[in-house]
Structure 1
Amino acid sequence: MIELQHTTKIHDESRQGEALDMLPTGKSKGRKLYIESYGCQMNFSDSEIVASILLDNGFETTKDYKEADVVFINTCSIRENAEQRVRNRLKEFESAKAKNPGLVVGVLGCMAERLKSKFLEEEKLVDVVVGPDAYRDLPNLIDKVDDGNKAVNVLLSREETYADISPVRLNSNGISAFISIMRGCDNMCSFCVVPFTRGRERSRDCHSVVKEAQDLFNAGYREVTLLGQNVDSYKYTKPVAEDETQGQMINFAQLLAMVAEVSPELRVRFSTSHPKDITDEVLYTMSRYENICKYIHLPVQSGSSRVLELMNRTYDRQWYMDRVNAIRRIIPTCGISTDVITGFCTETEEEHQETLSMMDYVKYDFAYMFAYSERPGTLAAKRYEDDVPEDVKKRRLTEVVNKQQEHSLYRLQNFVGKVQKVLIEGFSKRSDQDYCGRNDQNSMVVFPIDERFKPGQYVHVLAERCTSATLIGRIVE
């Protein structure tokens, strides 16, 4: 599971919906497109692909759904309350449709296949439902709706990677961008819907990834995040006809190096790593390149080996600790974040304490923390009873959140008094007198504006103090 990595240390269960901003228009037919995205980084990346496909087919874009002719909501199925938010939002769009009967409303992404009949037939909230592998079919599906029909394409693909499509950067600061390097997931974690909603794992052509990174750098971007449900599983075999390296298999460590070599001025991040797959080769590659950020998102989910087995995570407590030890040994300055689920099926109080002790062992920089939410169709829903009472789940979650607040503050306090290399991302949310940006370890840094420097430039900032979420300092030479 990929979760958006913000600087706040306590995270909502999915990112709030974000609309695309005004973008350069393609061959305009006068029809306006509005996309709203929820959930993980992959969904936001997919929305950029959708925008590119439809701009090439003559659409313009708007950031106000009341002005739109076509409204899409890109959905997330990771947690139950994310689905409820989407449903509530669709009812708002339904009101807009009452005023504009020609408005086309569609659902994209992870909720599409599972809830298509509900949306189309029972609740009649949408006109078109499209799964993550069918975005190329959108122009045709919109035409069907224009002819008075409902339209659905939720077929999953074993080949589709959208490698040939240049994403339109939505809500972009012009500095940081996502690059999807693979799609789908072959891990069958018992709590997770992703293998069913996004299909089997497929890796993009490594050359297309490097070209996208180079194009972004040439356009002024200075940071890319390589995305995959499990980036460590990336593998691309060069076709036989390519060159003397024909048939060579490129793994994630090699791809990481290829992207890092685009320019030493291009920062490289990635998400998400799976504890069963992250290799020493990846860690040594990170240590070798100064522009590969020293930060790894390594979801633990639980500190109990028995619960991890029920989750089908395919590693145990000791394996996870060994991987953390390898990170600390090879990259001593590396930041580590995680995902934690409290109250999974049959979890005992002792096993919850094991999770807390794992958190004490690692002292994560950030964490994404959730009470277990049973998802229909998952292995856990079929095999196990969701038997931990809600009040117990919430109490355990509160203990995990409190523990993480302590550790986040501890990690940030270790930066105080030290100089951080920061890529300026823009103005601080709280003051237009301050800039903000992230250090190598993905911690947010806020500092007074210096007119010599602009967003997109690197600066050195002396961290003078911190809150539990932010480093505060000033630019130094």
Structure 2
Amino acid sequence: VVGTDTFYHLPELVERYRTSGKKLVQLEFSREFPRLPLVKECVSGQVTAMVTIMQGCDNFCTYCIVPYVRGREKSRPSSDIVREIQELTSKGVKEVTLLGQNVNSYGLKDGDITFPELLRLIARETDLLRLRFTTSHPKDLSEDLMKCFHDLEILCKHIHLPVQAGSNKILRLMNRRYTREEYLQKVRKLREYCPEIAISTDVMVGFPGEEEADYLDTLRLLEEVRFDTVFSFKYSDRPGTAAASFRGKVPEKVKTRRLIQLQELQNRITLEQNEKLVGTVQEVLVAGTSKADERQLTGRTGDNHIVNFYGPRNLIGELVPVTIVEAYAHSLKGELPLVGEFSREEDQCMICR
């Protein structure tokens, strides 16, 4: 039996069991980041990859089980991160997403450098075309990190910044450690450094104690920020968390009504945001073919919009200019330059000949 902090040692533990025949139980949390194999096997033609830079969480939001099952924050050595990205790019990977429960606190406790310094190091020491990261806790979003969106060409102009609620009362109950006003100020400052930045977020409805006025505060926050994307869900108890024992549970019917109403509002906002891109030319990193229509290519813009368009498969892995011709709630339709000379049957276009 192995825990979440020791599964990297599974091959070694299996060998120990094979030779000794004794049952093994390893559930302890390590104080140091585990040594990972530098590169996992790449799929042929893989364009994007994810690289873990830290594990665990020190925030103890009252609804979240992560600190109890993943342990406290541990940062991976920056040299290991850079080496893994260098190996990935040598295998053809063009875009990397840095992963952590709260990447903004990378290095603050046990690392050799801070997160903004890590981003600058990756930009300087690798041949990466694009760099992303997730997830960011708003309380740890520094001005130095905001500057990186302005200064670093490889850093994609998108940030996932979970707000969870728009009511200060609910934010306190969640132990989020920021206020509505502080969150909005950070959004304004982000847009000062990078006016074109796309912001996505997480929002929870029906947290214990959420009254209608609190819920309406959340709707008003969505209207004010105008997020590009919102991942929304209903609160549910997680055994072992503080919130599971809170009073004031919201009836399921009320949670469902609030979620539907919130999603309808955000779908309208997202569509309006996407419609602003119609007629513009966006650089799209082509990741493969569309799941809905294999004749189409699919990729993402720097600000994380999905774009589907017809084009030859030899564009997979390339950064190409695409004209946005139509907007939907969750994706964009695009055309290559000289699309009129493109032949779907021949799977060729003039710009690639």
TM over 0.5: yes
Which of residues 425, 437, 447 is equivalent to 2:309? 447
Deviates more, 1:300-309 or 1:432-441: 432-441
Deviates more, 1:290-299 or 1:129-138: 129-138
Number of the residue aligned with 1:71: none
Correspondences of 1:433-472 after superposition (within 5 Å): 433-450=295-312, 453-472=314-333
CA contact (8 A) 1:204 1:236 kept: no
The alpha-carbon distance between structure 1 residues 376 and 361, as it changes in their structure 2 partners (threshold 3 A), is: same
Unaligned runs of 5+ in 1: 1-128, 239-247
Number of the residue aligned with 1:421: 283
Whether 2:93 is the aligned partner of 1:226: answer no
CA contact (8 A) 1:450 1:475 kept: no
Which of residues 66, 81, 87 is equivalent to 1:209? 81
Whether 2:189 is the aligned partner of 1:317: answer no
The alpha-carbon distance between structure 1 residues 439 and 136, as it changes in their structure 2 partners (threshold 3 A), is: closer
In 2, Cα distance between the equivalents of 1:253 and 1:136? 27
Shift of 1:430: 1.6
CA contact (8 A) 2:75 2:107 kept: yes
Please tell me the residue identity of whatever aligns with 2:79: H
Please tell me the residue identity of whatever aligns with 1:252: F
After superposition, give the CA deviation of every residue in 1:90-140 in whole Å (9 maximum; x if it has no partner). Answer: xxxxxxxxxxxxxxxxxxxxxxxxxxxxxxxxxxxxxxx321211243235
Number of the residue aligned with 2:46: 174
Number of the residue aligned with 2:345: none
Number of the residue aligned with 2:342: none
CA contact (8 A) 2:42 2:91 kept: no
In 2, Cα distance between the equivalents of 1:354 and 1:318? 12
Number of the residue aligned with 1:474: 335
Give secondary structure in 1 for the equivalent of 2:59: coil
Whether 2:159 is the aligned partner of 1:159: answer no
After superposition, give the CA deviation of every residue in 1:411-467 in whole Å (9 maximum; x if it has no partner). Answer: 11111110101100000112222110000111100111136x421111000001111
Which of residues 381, 401, 413 is equivalent to 2:244? 381
Correspondences of 1:262-281 after superposition (within 5 Å): 262-263=125-126, 265-281=128-144
In 2, Cα distance between the equivalents of 1:188 and 1:205? 24
In 1, Cα distance between the equivalents of 2:179 and 2:154? 32
The alpha-carbon distance between structure 1 residues 130 and 171, as it changes in their structure 2 partners (threshold 3 A), is: farther
Whether 2:176 is the aligned partner of 1:304: answer no
Number of the residue aligned with 2:341: none
The alpha-carbon distance between structure 1 residues 311 and 171, as it changes in their structure 2 partners (threshold 3 A), is: farther
CA contact (8 A) 1:213 1:262 kept: no
The alpha-carbon distance between structure 1 residues 380 and 146, as it changes in their structure 2 partners (threshold 3 A), is: farther
In 1, Cα distance between the equivalents of 2:297 and 2:99? 27
In 2, Cα distance between the equivalents of 1:393 and 1:469? 24
The alpha-carbon distance between structure 1 residues 287 and 231, as it changes in their structure 2 partners (threshold 3 A), is: same
Please tell me the residue identity of whatever aligns with 1:457: E
Which of residues 394, 406, 416 is equivalent to 2:256? 394
Please tell me the residue identity of whatever aligns with 1:254: E
Please tell me the residue identity of whatever aligns with 2:164: Q
Please tell me the residue identity of whatever aligns with 1:298: L
CA contact (8 A) 1:186 1:200 kept: yes
The alpha-carbon distance between structure 1 residues 195 and 170, as it changes in their structure 2 partners (threshold 3 A), is: farther
Give secondary structure in 2 for the equivalent of 1:153: coil
The alpha-carbon distance between structure 1 residues 141 and 415, as it changes in their structure 2 partners (threshold 3 A), is: same
Shift of 1:363: 1.1
In 2, Cα distance between the equivalents of 1:136 and 1:437? 32
In 2, Cα distance between the equivalents of 1:455 and 1:429? 14
Give percent identity, aligned residues only: 40
After superposition, give the CA deviation of every residue in 1:311-331 in whole Å (9 maximum; x if it has no partner). Answer: 000001000000110111111
Shift of 1:400: 1.4
Please tell me the residue identity of whatever aligns with 2:80: S
Number of the residue aligned with 2:346: none
Number of the residue aligned with 1:409: 271
CA contact (8 A) 1:161 1:182 kept: no
Whether 2:302 is the aligned partner of 1:430: answer no
Which of residues 200, 219, 228 is equivalent to 1:337? 200
CA contact (8 A) 1:465 1:471 kept: yes
Q: With structure 2 as the length reference, what TM-score do the two structures score? A: 0.90
Which of residues 117, 120, 123 is equivalent to 1:254? 117
In 2, Cα distance between the equivalents of 1:427 and 1:389? 43
Shift of 1:381: 2.0
Number of the residue aligned with 1:365: 228
Please tell me the residue identity of whatever aligns with 1:404: Q
Give secondary structure in 2 for the equivalent of 1:446: strand
Shift of 1:367: 1.4
Number of the residue aligned with 1:130: 2
CA contact (8 A) 2:285 2:301 kept: yes
After superposition, give the CA deviation of every residue in 1:383-423 in whole Å (9 maximum; x if it has no partner). Answer: x1261111111111111111121121111111111010110
In 1, Cα distance between the equivalents of 2:169 and 2:13? 46
CA contact (8 A) 1:161 1:183 kept: no
